[in-house]
Amino acid sequence: MIYNEREIREQQVIEAAKQMMTAARTAPKAKGEDLIELLLVTGDDIKVLSDKLHDMGEERSRGGMMRDAINILSANAILLIGTREQPMALNCAYCGAATCDSRSEGTPCAMNLVDVGIALGSACATAADLRLDTRVMYSAGYAARALGWMPDCTCIIAIPVSASAKNPFFDRKSTRPTTK
């Protein structure tokens, strides 16, 4: 059998992104509580996410979101890492409240957010080991949240993934006006 890399690249990236999911799942969590949710977006759903992100960028006059909407179309897969909200009862005060019980409504537990960060790091380390192109994007995660793809998650971060001659997620065109 002969495989042409160009013909199997997309499937290879998807399989590698599944390994990133495993790395995120097995990353350490505060108090050993697993509140992390993971989704892998491929195919036509990447365009759905891109369209939503572009619309949100237009509504908010956020050029960076519109740039990211175009940029994620270069991905073969997008890993979404989110967390459900659950205070860890550590009274650590990292959220700004003296105790978990005194947190204001809507204030996220900082430990839940730290767990997302650790999962992101583990997933990106796996991607680096596999020599994949990635970039961590809050914007695409925000659009996924608006689409309701992870309804129980209060925070979602996206990692678009590709394998190309040059990482398409860096050296992106600026949306800032040039000044002279």
Query: What are the tens digits of pLDDT across the range 86-107?
Result: 999 999 999 999 999 999 988 9
Segments forming the whole domain that contains residue 66: 8-162
Q: Is position 173 within any domain? A: no
Query: What are the tens digits of pLDDT across the range 137-172?
Result: 999 999 999 999 999 999 999 999 999 988 888 876
Q: Is position 16 within any domain? A: yes
Is pTM, for the whole model, over 0.85?
yes
Rg (CA), the chain: 18
Q: Is position 113 within any domain? A: yes
Q: What is the CATH number of the domain that holds 131?
A: 3.40.109.10
Containing 159, the helix (H) or strand (E) segment is strand 153-162
Query: What are the tens digits of pLDDT across the range 16-56?
Result: 999 999 999 999 999 999 999 999 999 999 999 999 999 99
Residue 153 CB neighbour total at 10 angstroms: 23
The pLDDT value recorded for residue 180 is 60
Q: Is position 138 within any domain? A: yes
Asked whether the predicted pLDDT for residue 176 surpasses 90, the reply is: no
